[in-house]
Structure 1
C-alpha cells in the first residue's frame, strides 16, 4: 500500500521545495519528527493557526497518525478495527499540505546547518523543528531473551498481543499502573485468567492515594482479576511454545500463556542527545517547549518541562498532555507564545469505570469528597495551602470538566 500523501511528496523535496507547487512565497519549512499525538497535533495546529510554510511530519511507524488510547482497550478486545483509530482520513494530510513521511526514521540533526537526516539519506532543511519522538516501554530485565513477553506501545504491538490473548490462556501482567490495569481488564473481558503483579503496595500508586486506588483494586478483584502487591519479579521463563512462568523473589510462581510487561516508559532522546541538546529524563525545554537550539522545540512524552508550580522538572506520559503540548508549541511557532499546561492530566477506562485525574493529588494537604469512592462514583478536590492542586473523578466526566477548569484557574 502506498504511503498516505505519497503522490504529493515531490512538491516538498528539499532544498528546492519552494520552487514547486506554485508557492515560491512559502520559504519556511517546519519539520516535525514523531507522528504521535504531539507531533500530529503540532502539524494540524500550525495549519489551523495560518502557518504558510511547508510542513513535513516524519513518523517511524508505517501507519498514518492514530489514536493510542484504544490500543489497551478496544483494539485488544477486538471491538474496534484499526482503521477506526486513525486520527484523520489518509487524504486529509495532503489536503492540508502536510507531507506525511510514514515508515521514516530520523537519524541525525545538525542544528548549525538546520537539517534533519533520515535513514534513507534524505536531508530536510528546516526553519522550525519539533521533536515529538515520544517514548518506548521500559524494558524489564528479567524478560530479556524470553520469547512471548509483550510490551504495549504501538498498533503493531497491540494487534500482536490481541492475537496472543485469543488463546484465552492465563495472563500475567507485570505492573499495576494505568496501562497494566487496562490490559488486565481487557484480557479478563476476553475470558482470560489474569494476575497482576505490582511491586508497590497498591496499584496506581504513582497517581492516586491509597483510599482512591483501593476501590479500583477491588473492582478488578470483583471482576476476577488477581492482584498481588509487593511483588519483586526474579525471573521469567519459557518452558514450551505456549507455556511461560513468572517467579517472584519470595518463590511464588505464576504460570502463563501470555506475559505483559507494563512497567513505565523511557523517553526517546537519543536523536536529541546526539545533536548536543540537553537531556535529563527527556529533552530539556522551557515552558514554551523551546530547546536552547534556535528554532528547535520538543513536545510530548519526550519533553522534560519545568514544573513552574512545584519546582524541578517533570515529564508527561499521557495522551491529553501530549496533545496540549503539540498545540502550545505550534502556537508559539506562529508568533502566539503559549506556555505548556501547568497541570498534567490523564484518564483511564477499567471494567467500564472512567477515572480522570488532573494535577498531582500526592502533593495535596487536604481534600473534599463528593459521592462515594467505594462505589466508584465520586469526585475529589485536592488542595495545597488552600488552593486547588488536583481533581479526580470516577464515572463523572461532566463534573470533571468543570473541576479541571477550576484547578487550572487556581494556578494563575
Structure 2
C-alpha cells in the first residue's frame, strides 16, 4: 500500500493500515523533507516561540519503527497510472502498489506578484520558520491579507510579539460564511481588543516594492498601507495537480463517495484534498477521522462504511478559544444559551450559542466555554446519530 502525503491525514492513514491488519509493504511519500509534523501550532505557539520544532512531531522514533513504513520524503508525486496501481515520483521512480491513499493536502493560495522579500504564506514548517525569523528582527508593520482562521491567528501572534498589525478582509465580515453575520461580528471584535486594525470590504490591488522587498499594500479602494511584512492567508488550493490525466474525478479536490472512495476502488482520499460526499473540509478533525473509514473501505475493495462524524474546528485568537461543531443551516437562527455576546474574549467569561432550524440544533459555537461546548458537541453528535438512524 502507498500513502501519498506525509502530513496529518497521511500519518493517520498509515496508522490505520497497520491497526486494521495490513502487514505488507507500506510506503509513505511526502513532498517536504521533514518528518510528519502538526500544522495548527505554526500560526500560534510556534510563531511566537512558545513551542519548538520537536514539539510539532506527529510520530516518535518508537512509533515510526513500529509502523514499518518506507518513508520517501522530499520527493513529489507527479502522477498516478491509469489503473491506480502505480505512483509516479518526481525523481523518476515508480512505486508499484495494490492500493493508494491520497493525502496530499492543500497549498496556500497566492497573490499575483507576491514573490517579494517580506511576503509570506503560512502553510508549512519552512513558511513558519521564515516568518518567525523575520519577526524576530524587530518591530515591523505587518499586513495580514485575509481574515479567516489562519489570518486571524497569525495577526494575533504578531500583535502579541509587539508588531503593528492590520488585517485586510475582502468580505464585509471575516468568517461570516462559517459562523453567520451575528457571530462573525462578535469574533471580528476580538481584533480590536487585541490592538489590531481590521479593514473589511476591500481587497488587494497590488503590492508595492523597492529593490525586490515589499514596502506597502495597495487596496482596491486606493489606500496604501505601509508594510514591512505581508502575510497572505486567502485560502488554500487542494493538492490535485499531480492527478491531472488520471482516471479520478477532480473538482476542487478529489471527488469521493461518503466513504472516501474514488472512482477507482483501490484509491481513497482523505483530509484537505478529499471532497467526501460533496464536501471538502480543511479541518484537523477531518484529517484524523476520515482515515479509519477510508482504510476500511480500501482493504475491503469497496465502500462498506461511510464517514458519519460531525464537523468540528477550533481557533485560538487574542487569548480566546473559538470552537464550532456541526453545520450552520441556511435560513436558521442562532441563540445564545450561556453567557453573553459581550463576554467573548480574554476580558469576559465567554458564551455558548446554538444554531437551530425547524426546532432542531444543527451546530454549536462557543467562545471560552470549553466544558459547556464539550457537552453541547456530545449532544449534537447523539442527535445527529439518531437522525441518521431514523432516515435509514
| 92-101 vs 170-179, which moves further | 92-101
Task: Select which of 316, 320, 337 maps to 1:349.
Answer: 316
- 1:11 aligns with none
SS of the aligned residue for 1:314 comes to coil
- 2:364 aligns with 391
Task: Select which of 19, 23, 38 maps to 1:67.
Answer: 38
Alignment of 1:173-322 (within 5 A): 173-239=144-210, 244-306=215-277, 313-322=278-287
Task: Tell me the distance in 2 between the aligned counterparts of 1:174 and 1:207.
Answer: 18
* Residue 324, structure 1, aligned to residue 323, structure 2: no
* 1:81, distance to aligned residue in structure 2 (A): 0.6
* 1:199, distance to aligned residue in structure 2 (A): 0.5
- 2:92 aligns with 121
TM (norm. structure 1) is: 0.87
SS of the aligned residue for 1:281 comes to coil
* Residue 405, structure 1, aligned to residue 375, structure 2: no
Deviations 1:299-335, CA, capped at 9 Å, x for gaps: 11111122xxxxxx22111111121112321233344
* 1:177, distance to aligned residue in structure 2 (A): 0.4
Task: Tell me the distance in 2 between the aligned counterparts of 1:204 and 1:169.
Answer: 26
Task: Select which of 347, 352, 358 maps to 1:379.
Answer: 352
SS of the aligned residue for 1:58 comes to strand
Deviations 1:203-232, CA, capped at 9 Å, x for gaps: 222211222222222222122100011112
Task: Tell me the distance in 2 between the aligned counterparts of 1:188 and 1:316.
Answer: 28
Deviations 1:377-405, CA, capped at 9 Å, x for gaps: 11112122222211111112222222222
SS of the aligned residue for 2:155 comes to helix
Task: Tell me the distance in 1 between the aligned counterparts of 2:28 and 2:162.
Answer: 40
Deviations 1:328-356, CA, capped at 9 Å, x for gaps: 21233344943224532211000121111
- 1:20 aligns with none
For residues 245 and 294 of structure 1, do their structure 2 counterparts lie closer, same or farther at Cα, with a shift above 3 Å needed? same
| 145-154 vs 258-267, which moves further | 145-154
Structure 2 residues not aligned, in runs of 5+: 345-349
Task: Tell me the distance in 1 between the aligned counterparts of 2:48 and 2:84.
Answer: 47
* Residue 150, structure 1, aligned to residue 120, structure 2: yes
SS of the aligned residue for 1:43 comes to helix
Task: Tell me the distance in 2 between the aligned counterparts of 1:38 and 1:145.
Answer: 29
* 1:119, distance to aligned residue in structure 2 (A): 1.8
TM (norm. structure 2) is: 0.91
Is the contact between residue 321 and residue 346 of structure 1 (CA under 8 Å) also seen in structure 2? Answer: no
* Residue 359, structure 1, aligned to residue 326, structure 2: yes
Task: Tell me the distance in 1 between the aligned counterparts of 2:234 and 2:204.
Answer: 12
| 272-281 vs 262-271, which moves further | 272-281
SS of the aligned residue for 2:178 comes to coil
For residues 188 and 240 of structure 1, do their structure 2 counterparts lie closer, same or farther at Cα, with a shift above 3 Å needed? farther
For residues 145 and 278 of structure 1, do their structure 2 counterparts lie closer, same or farther at Cα, with a shift above 3 Å needed? same
* 1:115, distance to aligned residue in structure 2 (A): 0.9
SS of the aligned residue for 1:67 comes to coil
- 2:109 aligns with 138
* 1:78, distance to aligned residue in structure 2 (A): 0.9
Task: Tell me the distance in 1 between the aligned counterparts of 2:118 and 2:140.
Answer: 13
SS of the aligned residue for 1:274 comes to coil
SS of the aligned residue for 2:143 comes to strand
Task: Tell me the distance in 1 between the aligned counterparts of 2:173 and 2:251.
Answer: 28
Is the contact between residue 215 and residue 375 of structure 1 (CA under 8 Å) also seen in structure 2? Answer: no
* 1:241, distance to aligned residue in structure 2 (A): 6.4
- 1:19 aligns with none
Q: How big is the alpha-carbon RMSD for the aligned residues of Structure 1 and Structure 2?
A: 1.8
Is the contact between residue 93 and residue 99 of structure 1 (CA under 8 Å) also seen in structure 2? Answer: no
* 1:368, distance to aligned residue in structure 2 (A): 2.8
- 1:4 aligns with none
For residues 59 and 289 of structure 1, do their structure 2 counterparts lie closer, same or farther at Cα, with a shift above 3 Å needed? same
Task: Tell me the distance in 2 between the aligned counterparts of 1:364 and 1:332.
Answer: 36
* Residue 79, structure 1, aligned to residue 50, structure 2: yes
